[in-house]
Amino acid sequence: MIMNTLATIFNHKSIRKFKNLPVEDEILNNILHAAMRAPSTGNMQLYNIIVTRDIENKRAILPFHFNQKMILDAPVVLTFNADFNRFNLWCEQRNAKPCYDNFLSFITAAIDTVIAAQNAVLAAESQGLGSCYLGTTIYMAEELIKFFELPKGIIPIATLAIGYPDEEPELVDRLPIKGNVHFEKYSNYSKSEIDEIYSYKENLESSKKLIEENKTENLAQIFTEKRYTRESNLLYSNKLLNILKSQGFMNNF
């Protein structure tokens, strides 16, 4: 069992092309139950999962995911939402005054949500399915809230496209362990250590091709000037802050 779990983790690949095959109900239920077995703060399980299988609903949410075709092709799309609404309702019905209308509560629920989503990824891949996270969810939270009719206390966090793989991509590179792991205390990096950590990634043929296609001097500039720019970060940061306020998570500001 341990070796099978490690093999699933070590061989993870994001799948963006799916076969035109349905995901059986039993397999989907296993994925959902695995997500719900994830650790959560105080065992509050501060998330919900919206299952989208209907093609018309997938077409409706497609623009909210920047028209990424995998939304239509994947037989199952799971939207994971940070959810304090259900817990607040329970508290109120038990004469316990909820006090979760603050930023810390949002962070707590968001962490629960991401852990549950990753459990779903592992469960899907261990059953022969492929999956891919869509980072567009948090960018387009307002639109998803309206479509899914989410009440206050709920914020969309992550979306998973799930289905049987119709591609076999290469494993994506990862930094060496010294790039992420520190023992006992954090040890900041020297210039030479940064060069060493990113050397493999920067010298990949795929990285060189990206640099050429994007007409940048190096790989880092692709991130800062093309993918995650200051302008887009500020735009979506302000958008998210407004959503947090309207959904009731900013009463301490």
Supply φ then ψ for residue 106, to 5 degrees.
-60, -50
Q: Would you state the structure tokens that stand for residue 112, as one six-digit string?
A: 């629960």
175-230 pLDDT per residue, tens: 999 999 999 999 999 999 999 999 999 999 999 999 999 999 999 999 999 999 99
Give the start-to-end residue ranges of the domains of the chain.
2-169
Q: Would you state the structure tokens that stand for residue 33, as one six-digit string?
A: 């139950």
Give the pLDDT of residue 174.
97
Average pLDDT over the chain reads: 96
For the cut 90, the answer to whether the pLDDT of residue 79 exceeds it is: yes
For the cut 90, the answer to whether the pLDDT of residue 251 exceeds it is: no
CA–CA separation, 132 vs 140, rounded Å? 17
Q: For domain 2-169, which CATH number applies: 3.40.109.10, 3.40.630.30, 3.20.20.80, 3.30.565.10?
A: 3.40.109.10
Listed residue (126, 146, 156, 140) closest to 65, CA to CA: 140
Give the pLDDT of residue 8.
93
Report the predicted TM-score, pTM, of the whole model to 2 decimal places. 0.95
Give the pLDDT of residue 4.
85
Q: Would you state the structure tokens that stand for residue 56, as one six-digit string?
A: 């018309």
Give the pLDDT of residue 3.
54
For the cut 80, the answer to whether the pLDDT of residue 1 exceeds it is: no
Give the pLDDT of residue 253.
72
Give the pLDDT of residue 48.
98
Query: Quick one: pLDDT band at residue 54, thresholds 50, 70, 90?
Result: very high
Q: Would you state the structure tokens that stand for residue 75, as one six-digit string?
A: 């037989």
